[in-house]
Structure 1
Amino acid sequence: MKPLSEMPLETARSIRVVLTDIDDTITTEGMLTASAYGALERLHRAGFIVIPVTGRPAGWCDHIARMWPVDAVVGENGAFYFRYDRERRTMEQRFWASSEELARNRAKLDAIEAEVLASVPGTALASDQAYRLADLAIDFCEDVPPLPESEVDRIVAAFERAGAQAKVSSIHVNGWFGDYNKLTMARTLLADVFGMAWDEARKTVIYAGDSPNDEPMFAAFPVSVGVANIQAFAHRLISKPAYVASGHSGEGFVQLAELLLRAKGA
């Protein structure tokens, strides 16, 4: 991972789309700071397509799509995208699974929930689980005392034994049934809404993240950035971001935004 300051100016000038994780990439210690939110707004006003790609739930994503200075949002690690059309005042939604599949998967996730909470002491349902439609989020450090990495691995193993996918974020283990992830839905959104072919996307998209559930995005986009706290997860990553900011969490995202804005002359 090269320092973000070493990104060539021509590389920064080629970026049209900013895809970014939210937790511990835009937020800092669970807070959305004024400087990070302002960076989102400045990017949006400068003409960048700005799309959060998050593990957070559908309920949050409805709010984000409506009220944040963004063009769309991918939620629950790729289970759907939401895009709010401000002129028509309508929410466009696309889900990976049908409503019938979501119901069947929820029953299987309920069984995994019972197993994990009974067998891994110190875990809890994520506080935002009530607003989720497609996945199960197990909290290992957001609202509970941080668990050791060995216990996080036990949570992942419980999902995988049941045939579910499982990804570790900076705060949760998210699990779901379905052959999707952040990347598959981000690609679908870019094609559906913005008419962007994959070859074009790889040349004009930058992705910012901080944890192992961002790995498919780091692998897919040649221009990717980790905020400084990605270093804590580097040993778990096969595919690492091309660049790393010196700033932690939202501060690192602000550094990235300022670089892109300078390159654009905005």
Structure 2
Amino acid sequence: MAKRPLTPRECELVVCSLYVMELIPFEGIMERLESITLRDIIGPVATGDATRQQAAESLDQYIKVRRRRFRNVPPEHLWSLDDRMEQEALRMIRKRSPLSAGEKLQPKAIPFEMGDTVEMKVTEIQERNSKVTVIGKVGQVTAKLPVANRQALKGSKTIAAWVTGIEKKPALIHLSTSDYGKHQPSAEVLAAYVTAIRGLRQFFETNELPSTEEVDLAKSLFQRMIRRDQNDWFTVYVAMGRPQLDHVRRWVKVIQMLGKSLRGDEDATRQLASQEDRFFKDALLRACRSVEKNLDSRT
């Protein structure tokens, strides 16, 4: 097709498609996949928890969303690509040596995740507009911690806290010493969360329309992970399988369109139809299923 070599991620896509079409074995490839999404698609097939047809549908979605180069090539046709460079790329990914335990293909600039407990070395205390912020280092990464009482920090050289947010450029992590965000809602509230998310999932899977109340609640669940303004935002984030916040921001926009569409906004209905397959729908469905699985058991 193209005259340039494939990128490593494109190689992984082609290999996964070949495996789904039962044209190559997959032993030893799983641990080499850099794409988290492709791992999620292929992993259940390799363990027998999903069918190849389900994986093909997920790959089709992945292609439409993430691979412009393959946007017109369905998974069942990827195996027929015969460009010399692509075939060479396929051979190279199969030859790549296995990763040792704990090794990653690309080291993270910030080796922490939201929710991790860390110890910050204090380097500076800032006070602006009656607000106090502690600046410090966690390893080589700059960290910020808002505090209510400066006097409580007097003489403190290190502070134990947990990660509430991560910024990649420039590398920065936000910390907290309170449990705000980790509240466990009551069984009745969790049941309402599950019902709202289930209605959203069924719409994107079968076009069954949810109620406006369910859409509004589902939207608020996604928004709170971005704004971190509710006492259970981190509980919801974990229940959703820790989705990428860039994805969540796109989901909120689409759910807003759905809410307007249900209230009779024709422009929103047209926009919603044009957004199909452009907002990481496969990842959204995984997050919805994760909520149903993780919260349904607590109700």
Interval containing the TM-score (normalised by the shorter chain) = under 0.3
TM-score with structure 1 setting the length: 0.28
Higher Rg of the two aligned structures: 2
Structure number with the higher helix fraction is 2
TM-score with structure 2 setting the length: 0.26
